[in-house]
Amino acid sequence: MRYVRRARSNPGLQAQHCAAIEAVADICDAATEGVEVGSEAFTFEPRVAAEEADEEEPVLGGSTSVEVGTAGSIPLVFDALLPVAAALEEPIEASLTGGTDAKWAPPFDYFQHVKLPLLREHGLDAEASVDRRGFYPRGGGEATLTVQPSEFDPLALTERGDRESLTAYSVAEESLEEDEVAERQAEAAAPDADREIEYGEADSVGSAVVLAAEYEHSRAGFTGLGDRGTTAEEVGEEAAEALAEFEAGDAAVDSHLADQLVPVLALAGGEVRVPEVTTHVETVVDLLAEFGYDVAVEDDGDTVVLSA
């Protein structure tokens, strides 16, 4: 792999990318070179580590434990593991330390309550749990993903239908409980939604809210992340505005879930109606083409249909 993230302001592999490669390499018995922060090129060769160790058979599946470092995103590492782990003949268990709710990445509750339930409805057998929250900048969160061998069903996500439920998952570091930060985030995000409020010990002060919407035929999620100088109400309003914008259109899944579903779409086939072609969607589609997977992108003016 060459030219990794070359167009970014911080090009090359970052901590969570290195952790993702390491975790996938563990369960695929792969040999790697050049996997380090800042590297713009690396190699990944599955099923060769056993040969180098003069072992008869590679170990595919099993357990892996990876420290992402600082607040590098644990959910992004789990994203990399899902399609690989589902195709193996043995179950996997991945235990990670790092950021559970980090900048520029889906919060853990989005992964657990939006993405995983939707993929379970399409054949995936997987569970995720969080033992400790990890906020920016120190991270220190702990979470586990287990995946059983699975076969994805074709994705049929072209209509969302009526909304059937809405839940606000609001979490904050324990020192923020006196100011009711998690409750205020949830109230600002959706006053009439069901609520799951959580406070917990963490290495850094932080908070996050996820609105998980379940529709007749699909699911979507909308997030807000706490930061210095941002009120709890502003965090909740960020999620509320994203929900309102989504429901004003006709897409079946939100824009963040769109690019995350492209690898599954390439493997299983089907159709997914998304709000727009983001740069993340373009990147994943182009990357999959290098491996021989053709994902079609059809823009009808209001939404975009991805198909394979």
Asked if pLDDT for residue 58 goes beyond 70, the answer is no
Please give the radius of gyration of the chain, using alpha carbons only, rounded to the nearest integer. Answer: 19
pLDDT of residue 55: 56
Q: Tokens representing 48? A: 């060769």
Q: What is the pTM of this model?
A: 0.93
What domains are there in the chain, each with its CATH number?
15-152 (3.65.10.20), 160-247 (3.30.360.20), 255-307 (no CATH)
Active site residues: 280
Q: Tokens representing 43? A: 């190699």
Place of tokens 């985030």: 185
Taking a C-beta distance cutoff of 8 angstroms, is the pair 108, 132 a contact?
no
Asked if pLDDT for residue 115 goes beyond 60, the answer is yes
pLDDT tens readout for residues 210-261: 999 999 999 999 999 999 899 999 999 999 999 999 999 999 999 999 999 9
pLDDT of residue 46: 83
Q: Tokens representing 103? A: 């900048």
